[in-house]
Structure 1
Amino acid sequence: MRGAAAYGRVSVESNVLSASPHQLISMLFDGAQSAIRAAKLHMANGNVEEKGKSIGKALDIVTMGLLAALDKEKGGELAERLESIYEYVATLLLKANARNDEKLLDEAAQLLNEIGSAWKEIGQQAAAAQGA
């Protein structure tokens, strides 16, 4: 089992090292969603410690990844709106952890999914335009 975990870490590290900035943000969205799914599973199983770790991981991704990556100078109003949404998602995650509320996790996941899907679509369109 340890070998599989080590292989997974190497695979993730390789993906990060070879990823474009756009792909890195996509990976952050995927990681946040994965952490929220894990938190819901731990919540359902009554595993408070692991639920807290998973929510903490999602929170770190949102605040130290997505929120920190915003360029307010270049992004203008869009960056400001995303900042508000990411701050709201962070609040949802904190409340979900404190209240053991799966609905708040669902709301956070839905918001991240909408933004993440749009982000990935932009990346596909940009890649198609470069290939043309």
Structure 2
Amino acid sequence: MQLLQRSAQLLLGAALTYAGITHLTTSRTEFQAQVPTILASQADFVVIASGVVEIVLGLSLIFLFKYRTRIGWIVALFFIAIFPGNISQYLNGTDAFGLDTDQARATRLLFQPLLVIWALWSTGAWKSYRASKGN
């Protein structure tokens, strides 16, 4: 099980790092479509900042194994923090990343909780929390 978790952690780290790099380069405009309308005037800044955060979190998952449980919680909170952008994309019907129907955008919303679970499970964060509570 540990090998599977570690592999999942490394995969998540690589995915976050890659996504962060694309925030800054090839997919910058696409990511701007996910910025909530309330922040539309700052969309480019939001995309750049979140890209930098994703790179840092991704590299942390890959290289800072000693701090994996703390990083797992931070990554889970990051996925929760960016969820309003996904909701905004759905509510505004904004096309990006091939999500060009309401059904596709709604389906994507269902995957955000899975990312939170992935972060908590792969880093052992949830197990560590439960152990600290005596459960």
Q: TM-score, with normalisation over the residues of structure 2? A: 0.44
Structure number with higher relative contact order (C-alpha < 8 Å, ≥ 6 residues apart) = 2
Q: Which structure dedicates a bigger proportion of its chain to helix?
A: 1
TM-score (normalised: structure 1): 0.45
